[in-house]
A and B are shown apart, each in its own frame.
Chain A
Amino acid sequence: MSDLKKIRDEFLSKLRSKLDLSQVNQLRTELFGKNGLITKQFKKIGSISVSERKKYATELNNIKDELQNLINSKIGEIEISEVNEKLKKEKIDVSLPERSITRGKIHPVSQTIDEISSIFSEIGFSVEEGPDVENEFNNFTALNTPDHHPARDMHDTFYLDEKKQKLLRTHTSPVQIRTMINNKPPFKIIAPGRTYRSDSDQTHAPMFHQVEGLHIDKEINMGHLKGCLNYFIKEFFEVDKIKMRFRPSHFPFTEPSAEVDIGYKIKDGKIVIGEGDQWLEILGCGMVHPNVLKNVKVDPAKYQGYAFGIGIDRLAMLKYGINDLRAFFDCDHRWLNHFGFDPLDVPTNYRGLSR
């Protein structure tokens, strides 16, 4: 047996036994160190006859590669197992609490406004806004509610001057007026916002939210009004069927006017919308009064259409089971956290309005 084969066999068997890292390094030095066995063999190449030299060199290189690979993989194995040993000692209690979370919330009224806007957006309404402080004309007179009209008594108004010319809007209907004065028909808008009445008890707050709707075009009739509201209510409460009742009523700014009731029942102490034989009033609406159109320089002989006003807070209460209107504005952090919505929960049509 040649020297080479001997070295190979000897070291292969040595490397196959169980070794730690220093033992492997020791074997490596024995083989490849300055005076290592393999190193020495390389030095010998020059002294070998030319005819033998090529064969010898090839064999030596093969053995060198074989041993070196084995040493490398041996070292890799040992390192991995040493890391594994070390990691075992680093185990921690992963059930300890995470770093603290702060979670913001969107107010239920804001969320409801987004839901409402999303629904009306689908059927072509755009959002308009107006100031909270209004003049008497936009809030009352232009809306066919002159000073001597008893209907004014229904609006307990906050005034900002003794002459009662400046006031906090009692409804969002003045946005109708502003929109129609500043633009040309057709109009198809909703106007959500803050409204104010000097009224305060369990079911009334001096500030609340309303969304006004207005659709004026050449051939818009009460059938369209019914269709629009029916669509809205169904979408808003996310039910397939809705029981709705249009009841004749009176508002100075619409004629014919209606109040709309929806059917409901109480099941397990919770209100179920769309079923049952109880009625709940949820909005007022009607065909825009020709006097209103005249007041904003729209020709009632050419244009007609409908308007409606819905209490946003009340819708939110019904949909989300909130009992107390006053709590909306009381800013109790616990309440806001309970009824508020995650900011990522943006109502959209394709993901649904609510989760």
Chain B
Amino acid sequence: MKITFDWLKDHLNTSLKEKFLIDQLTNIGLEVESIESLSADNKLFKVAKIIKTEKHPNADRLKVCEVDIGEKDIRKVVCGAKNATAGLITIYAPPGATIPKTKTKLVIAKIRGVTSYGMLCSESELNLSNEREGIVELPKSKYHKSVGKNYFQNNNPNSIDLSVTPNRPDCLGIRGIARDLAASGFGKLKNSKEQKIQSKIKHTLSVKITKEKGQGCSVFGSCLITNVKNTESPKWLKDKLISIGQKPISAIVDITNYVMLDINRPLHAYDADKIEKGIIVRNSKSGEQFTALDNKNYKMENGMCVISDSKGVLGLGGIIGGTRSSTELDTKNILLESAYFEPKSIRKTAKKLNLDTDAKFRFERGIDPLSIEDGLNKAALLIKEVCGGVISKIDVQRIEKFKAKTVKFDPNLFEKVTGLVISRKKILKILEDLGFKHKKEKKYLKLTIPSWRPDISQPIDIIEELARIHGYDQIKTIEPIKKRHKPTLNKTQKLFHFLQRAIASKGYVEAITWSFTDSKYNNLFKENKKEIKIINPLSSEIGVLRNSIFSNLIFYMRKNLNRDIKDLSLFEIGPIFSGSNPGEQETVIGGLRSGKMSRLSWIEDDRIVDIFDVKKDIIQTLIEAGYDRSKIHIDDTTPNYYHPGKSGRIFINKEKDKIVGYFGEIHPNIIKKIEIKTESLVGFEIFVDNLKRPKKLLRDQKKVYQVSDFQKSERDFAFIIDRNFKSQELIEIISSINPNLIKNVDIFDVYEGENIPVDKKSIAINVGIQSLDKPLNDEDLEKVNKLIIDTVEKETGAKIRS
């Protein structure tokens, strides 16, 4: 909403300066978004006289004009206007001036080889009118002494752009803003002494609002103005509209716009001669159509509020008029409409038809239902003044009577909510200034809400009004109390934060990617999960919710590799989705590593990152998070996006329904498909929600501290065993033979090949044996040895290698 201080002064008596206005507007909730200074630039536009014109040497249609701008030197300006002739008084814009219409800044330029100093302007370029033919012709009689003077008056006010919140339709009119300012102590609101149409002429056009379910129009006021001559608006009106960036069109249009901007009363003018047998306001029927003023054809559904005549739809009530009944410069008789349309109905219709107009914007927020006659009076009298004609009596059709809303307000509530104390007197003063009527009812105030405030309906709304006008800066700051009643984070949240930093500490850089993704990438990792489409995506590249943490991560991995960063470790912790219902999501950590370790190292041989790198990262993270290594189990059932032979699945306590994670090489086919260029790509996933939080705190899980001071013995074994046998199981078997004696089981070599049968492998194991109670002698050790060999051979079919 754009305003000027000058226009405000039509409604506000104030001696305060514009500087204070800006702050005050913001303080009362009318945020100043920007201030556009017109006057600074406007000083540059001069009244000028063409002294001589010559044909441009290199262009037939151009002239080189010598222009007197009231200075010693004559300016040479290249101009294409037909009417540019010697003697013409016009408007000159020097280099450095910004042309209002195009917002381009003029520079000294060579036009077809001739240097042009500035420009002679047309009315359209100056936003004075739509006249584009030729340059401005100023009347000689009035301007011949003004050559060199500023064309625009210096006191052109700043245009102040306000951001009006959706609850304040009243402030979409200058008067509403003036009222708020006055209430806050910034001047005094002028009485509106609107003249009334004093007419005895009958309104001869019939107007009817049909009473039907969902009727979106409750009041339709109108008057006829006959024998008008539509013309250009007078200067004061044009200036007003221009001052807030509106373009004057014709008197009738300008006047209806002016009334709308001034008191937020949208009006519509019809060419009365184009209306067939009167106006019917009714619900539309499916399939009806009309051409609107935006020159688009709209097809309606059932139940949209339309203004129609016997031939069909004329316009969409409160949204947009139609071309069939629009006023033009030669319009003789007009019907002026001032109606009330239901906000909900307006919003519904506009949304369905995807229409956004100024009228719609205002009606959907709620127009003052009591401004119908004010609007007609104000506009009709102005039209008569400018365009002549005869005004009929006002006709108001209504199917609903306006009833002022009231609210019972306990003034003590104000202090309770705001912590602010203001006197009863001040409370009443503010409310009166805002247009409330009040009556005392015991400890309450019975307040009658002004008709222009549809946003107010309950006591809290009154509190906001009082706080806003009195000033938020008056509210005292109460220091917060440093006291905690509940732990800040719950166990799950603590685990989330722990894992996040644990992974990062393994050398991974945290990425945050969007929760949506490209279905092309998502499909590679989605397995049998349901695709969840966004029905209105910004682009197909972010058209589905991600089913996997990898779909975005791998995309960005590729992007980074293409930047020639080779050895990357990226991870993300965040949601993945399994359905479109709230809660059908889980928290996952995904990590990807590419390239090599020790690339270009003088000290170590480089090697590609492999599955045991990511396995270490995931296992170490789990151990750090408090899970016992001996409880972590691994098998090889993994999703199809991993290398089928080089990937693993992780559980805790062998609970196979709770998959804690996967790790492994990304499937070579995927790497090929999305053209990732790297020596190696490995990754892991941790399903955070599947990680059981132990009931006991970590500090309570620790066993009694117990160590043995007796000699520890070590024995090495080599078993020849099935190639597919999981070494993890071998370790478990040996460890469980006698947990009191066997302290460690470590695999130090795995061998396949020469001297070993094809479907077998050799595993070399070191076992540490130590007793808590006594030193072990050779006999004891021999017993343990034998037990290990016998048990392994028996349970696994392995053979000890001799």
Q: Contact residues of A with B, CB < 8 Å? A: 96-97, 99-100, 102-107, 109-110, 114, 117, 120-127, 129-135, 138, 148-151, 153-154, 158-162, 166, 168, 188, 194, 196, 198, 200, 206-207, 219, 221-224, 226-228, 230-231, 245-250, 255-259, 287, 289-290, 304, 328-334, 336-337, 340, 343-344, 346
Whether A188 contacts B493 by the Cβ 8 Å rule is no
Residues of B within 8 A of A97 (CB): 601-603
Which chain B residues numbered 522 to 574 have a C-beta less than 8 Å away from chain A? 532-538, 542, 545, 556, 559-560, 563, 565, 568-571, 574
The complex places the Cα of A97 from the Cα of B603 at a distance, in Å, of 9
- Neighbour of A247 across the interface among B26, B493, B505, B571, CB < 8 A: B26
* Minimal beta-carbon separation of B354 from chain A (angstroms): 13
Residues of B within 8 A of A246 (CB): 472-473, 475
**Complex: chain A residue closest to B579, CB-CB:** A133
- Asked, given contacts A109-B512, A228-B480, whether A127 binds B500 with beta carbons under 8 Å apart, the answer is no
**Complex: chain B residue closest to A126, CB-CB:** B486
The complex places the Cα of A105 from the Cα of B503 at a distance, in Å, of 9
Tell me if B259 counts as interface (CB < 8 A to partner A). no
**Complex: chain B residue closest to A230, CB-CB:** B477
Whether A226 contacts B477 by the Cβ 8 Å rule is yes
Whether B511 contacts A331 by the Cβ 8 Å rule is yes
Tell me if B672 counts as interface (CB < 8 A to partner A). no
- Neighbour of A104 across the interface among B497, B507, B582, CB < 8 A: B507
**Complex: chain B residue closest to A97, CB-CB:** B602
Whether A231 contacts B480 by the Cβ 8 Å rule is yes
B contact patch SS: loop
Whether B503 contacts A222 by the Cβ 8 Å rule is no
Residues of B within 8 A of A337 (CB): 509
* Minimal beta-carbon separation of A114 from chain B (angstroms): 7
Whether B580 contacts A161 by the Cβ 8 Å rule is yes
Residues of A within 8 A of B464 (CB): 248, 255-257
Whether A102 contacts B507 by the Cβ 8 Å rule is yes
**Complex: chain A residue closest to B599, CB-CB:** A100
The complex places the Cα of A296 from the Cα of B568 at a distance, in Å, of 48
Residues of B within 8 A of A256 (CB): 417-418, 460, 463-464, 467-468, 472
Tell me if B100 counts as interface (CB < 8 A to partner A). no
Tell me if B513 counts as interface (CB < 8 A to partner A). yes
Residues of A within 8 A of B412 (CB): none
- Neighbour of B480 across the interface among A227, A328, A330, CB < 8 A: A227
The complex places the Cα of A224 from the Cα of B475 at a distance, in Å, of 10
- Neighbour of A160 across the interface among B344, B347, B467, B532, CB < 8 A: B532
Tell me if B99 counts as interface (CB < 8 A to partner A). no
Given contacts A129-B493, A219-B416, A343-B501, 17 further A-B contacts (CB under 8 A): A100-B599, A100-B604, A104-B505, A114-B497, A131-B582, A133-B583, A222-B418, A223-B420, A246-B473, A247-B472, A255-B460, A255-B463, A287-B417, A331-B511, A331-B560, A332-B563, A343-B505
Total number of B residues with any Cβ neighbor in A under 8 Å:
98
Tell me if B37 counts as interface (CB < 8 A to partner A). no
Residues of A within 8 A of B520 (CB): none
Whether A250 contacts B165 by the Cβ 8 Å rule is yes
Residues of A within 8 A of B503 (CB): 104
A-B contact list, 15 entries, CB within 8 Å: A97-B603, A99-B603, A104-B571, A127-B490, A129-B493, A133-B580, A135-B582, A159-B536, A198-B536, A223-B478, A224-B478, A246-B472, A248-B468, A287-B417, A333-B570
Whether B166 contacts A133 by the Cβ 8 Å rule is no
The complex places the Cα of A71 from the Cα of B481 at a distance, in Å, of 78
Residues of B within 8 A of A120 (CB): 488
In the complex, number of A-B residue pairs with CB atoms less than 8 Å apart: 261
* Minimal beta-carbon separation of B551 from chain A (angstroms): 13
* 8 interchain residue pairs of minimum CB distance: A248-B29, A102-B507, A250-B165, A223-B419, A104-B504, A343-B504, A331-B556, A221-B419
Residues of B within 8 A of A154 (CB): 166
Whether B485 contacts A133 by the Cβ 8 Å rule is no
The complex places the Cα of A168 from the Cα of B584 at a distance, in Å, of 12
- Asked, given contacts A123-B482, A166-B580, A228-B480, whether A159 binds B535 with beta carbons under 8 Å apart, the answer is yes
Whether A133 contacts B497 by the Cβ 8 Å rule is no
Whether B598 contacts A99 by the Cβ 8 Å rule is yes
**Complex: chain B residue closest to A151, CB-CB:** B166
Residues of B within 8 A of A149 (CB): 166
Tell me if B665 counts as interface (CB < 8 A to partner A). no
Query: Which of B344, B347, B535, B537 has the largest number of chain A CB atoms within 10 A?
Result: B535
Whether B477 contacts A247 by the Cβ 8 Å rule is no
Residues of A within 8 A of B597 (CB): 100
Whether B535 contacts A104 by the Cβ 8 Å rule is no
Whether B514 contacts A207 by the Cβ 8 Å rule is yes
- Asked, given contacts A109-B512, A132-B585, A161-B580, whether A224 binds B493 with beta carbons under 8 Å apart, the answer is no
The complex places the Cα of A244 from the Cα of B415 at a distance, in Å, of 22
- Neighbour of B28 across the interface among A130, A188, A248, A257, CB < 8 A: A248
The complex places the Cα of A166 from the Cα of B585 at a distance, in Å, of 14
Whether A227 contacts B479 by the Cβ 8 Å rule is yes
Residues of B within 8 A of A259 (CB): 31
Residues of B within 8 A of A99 (CB): 598, 601, 603-604
Tell me if B515 counts as interface (CB < 8 A to partner A). yes
Whether A117 contacts B488 by the Cβ 8 Å rule is yes
* Minimal beta-carbon separation of B604 from chain A (angstroms): 6
- Neighbour of B575 across the interface among A132, A227, A290, A336, CB < 8 A: A132
- Asked, given contacts A107-B511, A166-B580, whether A221 binds B417 with beta carbons under 8 Å apart, the answer is yes
- Asked, given contacts A162-B535, A222-B419, whether A290 binds B512 with beta carbons under 8 Å apart, the answer is no
- Neighbour of A168 across the interface among B343, B417, B467, B515, CB < 8 A: B515
Residues of B within 8 A of A100 (CB): 597-599, 601, 604
- Asked, given contacts A138-B582, A227-B477, whether A188 binds B509 with beta carbons under 8 Å apart, the answer is no
